[in-house]
A and B are shown apart, each in its own frame.
Chain A
Amino acid sequence: MSVRGVSVRFGAAEALASASIDVAPGEFVAIVGDSGGGKTTLLRAIGGLLPVAAGAIGFAEAGGAVMRPGPRDIGFCFQEGRLLPWRSVLANVALPLELEGVPREERLRAAASMLDRMRLGGVERRMPAELSGGMRMRVAMARALVTRPRLLLLDEPFGALDEVTRQALDDELLALVRASGATAILVTHSIQEAVALADRVLVLRGRPGVSQPPIAVPLAARDEAARLSVGFASLCAQVQAALRGGRAA
């Protein structure tokens, strides 16, 4: 996935000044930045929801060309979950396949097996309103993954949840993404979450944001112990420093 010198405007206002990053297949990249700095804007531009004013976005092809991703290539997961409240969990997860014209039997089977993989088989027939916030986000995650996308775009997916639920879901997310082999791009306002999940962290600084050189996260393990290690703390400090615009302490 290649993002080259992308800027986005809303009318006269520039929402994102310049962002560039090359993401390798299967890589997990987190985007952090000041609020109003264009993190979500960048993610939405990558997903094709916003037109770019300058630059190019796409899967890198042989010969240096970029190809725009199609709708089935991308799985989107939003902070609010965005489930259809009048549909059961199963029908919600099947929705992307339904909109892509997959026959009913097939899409329900695919949705059910996705839910099973996430140990959500028991809530298939429940309605979103009957689930807890964390449960709803897991269903949203299942929906994002049901098309087996090459690229998973996560817009502060667990931002509205409490810390404990969020950490549990982070771990689950990481396992799912690795198992699916998808490339993942996560927007978050939490530096800890970014460092805990990502292979590299992209910092957007300023308003509108300008991307800084990505920070690699060379952590071997991604468990509770790793999050308490000195290495983890110094990586967080490094990201923090990049955000402030100074040198790492």
Chain B
Amino acid sequence: MRALRSVLPPLVVVVALLVMWHAVVVLWKVPRYLLPSPLVVFEAAWQDRARMLAATMQTTIASVGGFALATAIGVLVGSLLGASRALQRGFYPLALLLQMVPLVAIAPLLVLWFGYGLRSTIASACIVAVFPVLASTLDGLRGTDPGLQEIFRIHRAGRLTRWWKLELPSSLPSIVTGCRVAAGLSVIGAVVGEFVSGYAGDQAPLGIVIVSGMRETRTDLVFAAVALSACAGFLLFAIVSALGWLLLRRWHASAVTED
């Protein structure tokens, strides 16, 4: 019943929007190359299902790879910056600046460094996903309860012990939030990277399906690829949220009150 109550409203909204979209296309006789109706999009995707499935797989692999890398780098670098005020002052603005560089601008460089294909797209997914993890790690570390720090100080716990047994677990709720944002972003990063660095061919990722769909005015396939990448992003987000909930459910308010 509770599951139904949380799934039903968005489902109703999505179905209603699809119906409206279809109605607009039919009533105004919009040509297919401008805006195909959802039925046409679905049909096109179904006909090309082997290719679409492979493309979705490729993009998902790149996203998951980039996300995992971003989580590892973000937590590690965030912890290093959190350990030292001086490091933080020196490097945090730099990290912020890097975050401001448009991904599209560096994507060609990634091809130069990592070649065409998966390695480049993982790198580009990682680049957009790393900052939220880093920032949330830093936030979490700085928010560690000074009272709990004192307990560890009383027993003269070393820097590493404090990080592993106190600061990192206490940052976990914040890190999980950062990872949730990063999960969605990593798919965006992967698709943008694929525009530039993706392989064409029968293992082409969604980014390439979109680019070649535009070139061949197969707008229906473009829409299908966009919808599939959104689904991949949503799925990744849902999985990360669920993992976060499992980690936090017994002690943190954000998990206890979640429905």
Contact = CB atoms under 8 A, between A and B. Distances in A.
Interface residues of A, number: 20
B114 interface: no
B154 A128 contact: no
Contact of B151 (A48, A76, A100, A128): A76
Interface in B147-197: 147-148, 150-157, 161, 165-166, 169-170, 172
A127 B250 contact: yes
A129 B251 contact: yes
A47 interface: yes
A95 B151 contact: yes
B256 A86 contact: no
Nearest to B247: A86
Given A99-B161, A128-B251, A82 B148 contact: yes
Contacts of B169: 84, 86
Contacts of B148: 82, 84
B32 interface: no
A95 B156 CA distance: 12
Contact of A86 (B151, B152, B155, B251): B251
A82 B147 contact: yes
A74 B148 CA distance: 16
Nearest to B155: A99
B49 interface: no
A49 B166 contact: no
Contacts of A84: 148, 166, 169-170
B179 to A, nearest CB: 17
Nearest to B248: A86
Name the residue among A74, A86, A100 with the largest chain B CB count within 10 angstroms.
Answer: A86
A99 B153 CA distance: 10
A143 to B, nearest CB: 9
Contacts of A48: 154
B249 to A, nearest CB: 10
Contacts of B253: 129
Interface string A122-149: 0000011100000000000000000000
A98 B169 CA distance: 16
Interface of B: 145, 147-148, 150-157, 161, 165-166, 169-170, 172, 250-253, 256
- 5 closest A-B pairs by beta carbon, nearest first, are A99-B155, A85-B251, A86-B169, A82-B147, A86-B251
